[in-house]
Amino acid sequence: MPQQLPNCIPTPPWWQLMNWIADPIGFQEKCRQQYGDIFIMQLSGIGASVMIGNPQAIQEIFTQDAKFEIGRANKLAEPLLGKNSIMLMDGDRHRRERKLLMPPFHGERLQTYAQEISLITQKITSQWQIKQPFVARSTMQKISLEVILQIVFGLSEGERYQQLKPLLTSWIDMTDSPLRSSMLFLKFLQKDWGEWTPWGQMKSKQKKVHELLQAEIEEKRNHSNEKQSDILSLMMAARDENGQAMTDEELREELLTLLFAGHETTATTLAWAFYQIHQNSDILGKLLEEINSLGENPEPMAIAQLPYLTAVCNETLRMYPVLPAIFPRITKSSMNIAGYEFEPETMLIPSIYLLHYQEDLYPQPYQFKPERFLERQYSPSEYMPFGGGSRRCLGYALALLEIKLVLATVLSNYQLALVDNKHIKLQRRGFALAPQGGVKMMMTGKR
Ligand code: HEM
């Protein structure tokens, strides 16, 4: 008897791949209208993928995460990050790596970073001039890069810092548009024919980044100092259950993973938050009232607990998922999910976008309504900006802390305005999504 499978999109696989690269949101939206919240996409060179936006099905996936291969499904990221990236690991190796990397991202450690985040924000935004337009996403990217360099890499000055900063920015910006992102998906573009080809440039920059990181690791090892609280120092000191430390290659590749995973994602979310807050004076007013209620020089951790600010961040991450979908899950054996029988080697992709625009969970999903997060609680399979199961984003607590502190610091110091009131679309940027044009704003005064 034939196995029952979800609807399959009938257009040619090359056409679907082009749509997935050029407009992953519009493409999912159209497919959902025709085929519902579970359907099969065929991507040329990648194969069939089951897109899933149904909360029950997502819950079944999260509770059975050990039955999937997830690192193998992230193979597309290997040329960028290297084979020692946590994102590409599975099974015991993945569990070991999470244990090694997790501690600096949680609990008290996190609090020690709060002051640094606020100071970095003040330093970078102090360069704004009255009425001079700036691109919010670019400023936020400067802040989040500085946060990663300082908190994760332990670098805030010196020659290596001066070299790494522009190099990392230009390396990441190599996939800043749908067209330039296509080299991540199309293998035939991944040919290193020297500096005049995009892939050649990408590889050459990557090599220089690795050399600088290696020098930094060696210097830290030779001048080890107990007091260092940056994440690289903590990673170097961490040991697994067999007493093994991470190798230099592992350290370098994990640093790049943290940079990739944590830098653009946070900056993009901040840009969207500024966009929505400045489209609606009611939201801005409520935020200011709440932040001001803490008095002068509030404790960073008190800011992080403000309910309305938290709701604004949650709604931003709902409406503007930074990734169109979470990591793909490949079935290791036959599995029944949402009543469908999937064979081994099936790729299931829980879609953040499809889930976050479910009308019965989020009435009027195209409207920005922070209140929905004050009125009800969402379960991990109803709201998943940071994914879930065994892969839940390692840096989610740092990301949320950073987003809240940057918003509070900027809003309480400056009056800002959008340069125009145009509707801004989500656009592909590498593996992620970002606001088209980056959200143009200007500072109109100081508070
Ligand atoms: C707004 C900011 C961020 C968003 C929206 C975000 C989102 C995500 C998502 C959706 C996943 C995949 C989870 C899954 O498949 O279940 C993920 C994984 C990951 N994220 Fe984040 N992330 C953010 C910030 C950060 C930061 C700041 C860091 C660290 C500096 C970070 C490090 C990671 C790592 C290492 C993984 C891989 C985890 C694993 O494979 O076990 N992320 N993130």
Q: Tell me the pLDDT of the chain (447 aa) as tens digits.
A: 345 889 899 999 999 988 988 889 999 999 999 999 999 999 888 889 999 999 999 999 999 999 999 999 888 888 888 899 999 999 999 999 998 888 888 878 888 899 899 999 999 999 999 999 999 999 999 999 999 999 998 888 889 999 999 998 888 777 666 666 566 666 666 777 777 777 788 888 889 999 999 999 999 888 876 667 788 998 898 888 889 999 999 999 999 999 988 988 999 999 999 999 999 999 999 999 999 999 988 998 899 999 999 999 999 999 999 998 999 999 999 999 999 999 999 999 999 999 999 999 999 999 999 999 999 999 999 999 999 999 999 999 999 999 999 999 999 999 999 999 889 988 887 778 889 999 999 999 998
Residues in the chain: 447
CA of 211 relative to ligand 1 center, distance in Å? 25
* b/e code 144-183 from CB counts within 10 Å (16+ = b): bbbbbbbbbbbbeeeeebeebeeebeebbebbbebebbbb
CA of 250 relative to ligand 1 center, distance in Å? 18
- Domain layout of the chain by residue ranges: 7-446
For position 109, what pLDDT does the model report? 81
Determine the Cα–Cα distance for residues 384 and 351; give it in Å rounded to an integer. 9
Cβ atoms of 60 and 337 within 8 Å: the answer is yes
Cβ atoms of 85 and 100 within 8 Å: the answer is no
Of the candidates 405, 400, 424, 414, the residue with the CA atom closest to the CA atom of residue 447: 414
CA of 324 relative to ligand 1 center, distance in Å? 13
For domain 7-446, the CATH class is mainly alpha
Residues with Cβ < 8 Å from 421, sequence gap 6 or more? Answer: 279
For position 195, what pLDDT does the model report? 74
Q: SS3 for 240-292, per residue?
A: CCCCCCCCHHHHHHHHHHHHHHHHHHHHHHHHHHHHHHCCCHHHHHHHHHHHH
Using CA positions, which residue lies closest to atom 25 of ligand 1? Answer: 262
Determine the Cα–Cα distance for residues 395 and 262; give it in Å rounded to an integer. 7
∠ CA 186-187-188, rounded to 5°: 95
For position 1, what pLDDT does the model report? 38
Q: Which ligand 1 atom lies nearest to the CA of residue 323?
A: 10
CA of 141 relative to ligand 1 center, distance in Å? 16
- Ligand 1 pocket (Cβ < 6 Å) reads 86-87, 98, 152, 257-258, 261-262, 265-266, 269, 322-323, 326-327, 385-389, 391-395, 398-399
Instruction: Indicate the pairing of strand 347-350 with strand 329-331.
Output: antiparallel
Of the candidates 417, 385, 381, 435, the residue with the CA atom closest to the CA atom of residue 132: 417
For position 211, what pLDDT does the model report? 94
CA of 11 relative to ligand 1 center, distance in Å? 32
Using CA positions, which residue lies closest to atom 26 of ligand 1? Answer: 262
CA of 403 relative to ligand 1 center, distance in Å? 14
